[in-house]
Amino acid sequence: MRTIAIIGAGNMGGSIARGLYMSALGKQYQLVVCNRSQEKLTALKSALPTIKTCTDNQEAIEDADIIIFAVKPWLMEKVITNLKIKKEAVVASVAAGIATQTLASWTSEEQPIIRLMPNTAISLFESITLLATYHTTQEHVDEMLALFDELGVAILIEEEKMGAATALASCGIAYAMKYIQASMQAGIEMGIPAKQAQMMSAQCVKGAAALLLKEENHPSAEIDKVTTPGGLTIKGVNELDHRGFSSAIIKAILASNK
């Protein structure tokens, strides 16, 4: 059985562990999760009883075939350079902004390296996961795409597009949440109980996404279907445009790519 080691059990590391643990393909691997804090490991072990946990990074990676580093970008160099990584192991990093060649300089120029950028919906099999590679074989790429495709959708992109794609697909989940939160607040002001307002807003966004993903229509086509002349929806859409809604979203995503 091949082994996947995850270094870091925070929001992203924990979400990846949960997603892999529950997926059909992930069940074919031994999962090892390492974290400095035992508290997070205890909580994770309680939810995922067959994983292995430890607080020593070297111990975690000793037999690993894939090592996923889910630590903060400013900690990556210190964490990775203190380890002896076997040359055939695939090193995968979710640290934003750190290029594959930089990671190679901290490990080995011959090390197979993959930059990963999922979002936190990965634990629910609903992530969009971006991958960029360095010194990998087709087998490495196929294995990683298969693993993360089970957790939503995984796509291989050119590394120079990673920053822009991260702003759109990873940071973007926070912007979607902001819309849902604002929509909830409007519902509450109109007298709808908070839990019902959240459910209505979230299901509305889920339905909108499903229309685009399953029907492959352009958003404008779906907007046209519900903006009848003199109707309620067109009044709201026009107000969004008057208030700069589209511009605010565009500027937020562009800001995340700086």
Could you give the CA distance from residue 252 to residue 174 in angstroms, rounded to a whole number? 10
CB atoms within 10 A of CB 42: 12
Torsion on CA atoms 43, 47, 11, 142, rounded to nearest 10: 140
Compute φ and ψ for 169, nearest 5 degrees.
-100, -25
Compute φ and ψ for 154, nearest 5 degrees.
-115, 135
Instruction: Specify burial of residue 100 (Cβ count, 10 A radius: 0-12, 13-18, 19+).
Output: buried
Give domain 3-161's CATH architecture: 3-Layer(aba) Sandwich (3.40)
**Regions in the chain scoring below 70 on pLDDT:** none
Tell me which DSSP letter residue 24 carries.
T
Tens-digit pLDDT profile for residues 136-176:
999 999 999 999 999 999 999 999 999 999 999 999 999 99
- Give the Cα-Cα-Cα angle 123, 126, 127 (nearest 5 degrees): 80
Could you give the CA distance from residue 258 to residue 72 in angstroms, rounded to a whole number? 18
Looking at residue 66, what is its pLDDT? 97
- Give the Cα-Cα-Cα angle 90, 12, 137 (nearest 5 degrees): 20
Looking at residue 123, what is its pLDDT? 86
* Domain parsing of the chain, residue ranges: 3-161, 172-256
- Give the Cα-Cα-Cα angle 169, 237, 216 (nearest 5 degrees): 45
CB atoms within 10 A of CB 251: 11
Looking at residue 131, what is its pLDDT? 97
Instruction: Specify burial of residue 241 (Cβ count, 10 A radius: 0-12, 13-18, 19+).
Output: exposed
Both tokens of 181, joined, read 């939160």
**Are 82 and 60 within 8 A, CB to CB?**
no
Dihedral of CA 108/103/93/55: which sign?
A: positive
Which amino acid, residue 56?
D
pTM across the whole model: 0.87
Residue with token string 């000793």: 62
What is the secondary structure of 162-214 as a DSSP string?
HHHHHHHHTTHHHHHHHHHHHHHHHHHHTT--HHHHHHHHHHHHHHHHHHHHH
CATH number of 172-256: 1.10.3730.10
